[in-house]
Amino acid sequence: MDEPKIALGAMEFGTRIDDKTSFALLDQYVDAGGVWIDTADCYAFWGDPSGHGGQSEALIGRWLAARPGVRERVQISTKVGCEPTSPGSFPEASEGLSRKAIDAALAGSLRRMGIEHVELYWAHRDDRGTPLEETVAAFGAHVADGTVGRVGLSNYALWRTERARGIAAALGYAPPTALQLRYSYPQPRPLVRDNVHVHRFGWITDEVLDYAATDATMELWAYSPLEAGAFERADRPLHEAFDHPGTTRRLAALEEAAAELRVSRSALVVAWMTGATPFVRPIIGASTPAQLASAIEGARLTLAADVREALDRPW
């Protein structure tokens, strides 16, 4: 079975989404050929009375333990940098990206999941208080010792990404080969920063797309691709940052194409993203089997050239 080119987002597994439902979604995803499971050491601190994260990784660990042999079929993506230093301290104070923090966080992630390595380890957000050389060296050391397969950066400014890659090349460490940022079919107004999310540079922009298109070693991952159900549910409208004429035209084009193809608008957004150049891997935070099935359907849908042109045109 061909792999659907989406990652399963496990952010709320073990907190808002209970064990039974989480296990069922993980099983459904793997049974459909899915490979990548995306989490973070801070998930989901806002959903747990302790004010700390780790619940998602712990659930994945329980699921792996209950499914002998499944570890060889999946690849784990987790992150470091956003775990609050104390309950309620995020975003002002979090673990950061010092060597000490990275070493401790990775050990904790591996312990909670009951595994010996992760295939992809992300810096969850930039830590301007730690020298970039220290962060790059810490990640590189874990690639060298086999506990990390490769390194990614999430919510980083593009200039900081390129600087980190330059430092890695100069010092002989593994460079970042993936960027994880927010992206969907509609786009916010220019210079939208914390209006939607705490990460100032947490967006795939046209410049990011150009960067990935001209560098085959850099892969793009997209979080919040379905905007929390906004394409299907009237009670979940897009944030006001998307309130501009381009969004109106885009949503009309999406509605027309979805009706023509007889698929959900969400499935069409996934198809538009996974079939794009450059390729963008959407992280699907499904909470029901139907939502996940829709995303898998979209990932397996190849859009005709005229449909893609119609979707790309309206701005």
Tell me, what's the pLDDT at 199? 83
pLDDT of residue 210: 97
Output 194-199 pairs: Cβ under 8 A, ≥24 positions apart: 195/239, 195/240, 195/241, 196/239, 196/241, 198/91, 199/125, 199/155
| Domains by residue range for the chain, with CATH | 7-242+266-304 (3.20.20.100)
Q: Which residues contact 311 (CB under 8 A, 6 or more apart)?
A: 185, 250, 253, 254, 257, 268, 272, 303
Q: Calculate the alpha carbon distances from 181 to 16, 51, 104, 262, 313 in Å.
A: 23, 24, 25, 29, 23
Would you state the pLDDT for residue 195? 47
Retrieve residue 169's tokens: 């090349």
Burial of 296 (0-12, 13-18, 19+ CB in 10 A): buried
* Pairwise CA distance, residues 172 & 122, whole Å: 19
Per-residue pLDDT, 69? 97
- Alpha-carbon Rg for the chain, nearest whole angstrom, is 19
d(Cα 267, Cα 273) in Å, to the nearest integer? 10
Residue 167 has a pLDDT of 98
pLDDT reported for residue 313: 87
Q: 67: which residues sit within 8 A by CB, 6+ positions away?
A: 27
* pLDDT value of residue 191: 76
Structure tokens at 275: 């079939």
pTM over 0.75, yes/no: yes
Question: What is the per-residue pLDDT for 189?
Answer: 87
Low-confidence ranges of the chain (pLDDT < 50): 195
Degrees (nearest 5) of the Cα angle 185, 188, 190? 135
CB 121 within 8 A of CB 151: yes
Q: How far apart are CA 239 and CA 276, in angstroms?
A: 24
Q: What DSSP element (H or E) covers 176?
A: strand 176-182
65 contacts: CB under 8 Å, gap ≥ 6: 114
Angle (deg, nearest 10), helices 265-274 and 289-299 = 40
The Cα 10–Cα 76 span in angstroms is: 11
126-145 tens-digit pLDDT: 999 999 999 999 999 999 99
Per-residue confidence (pLDDT) for residue 241, from 0 to 100: 87
- Measured CA to CA, the distance from residue 189 to residue 196 in angstroms comes to 11
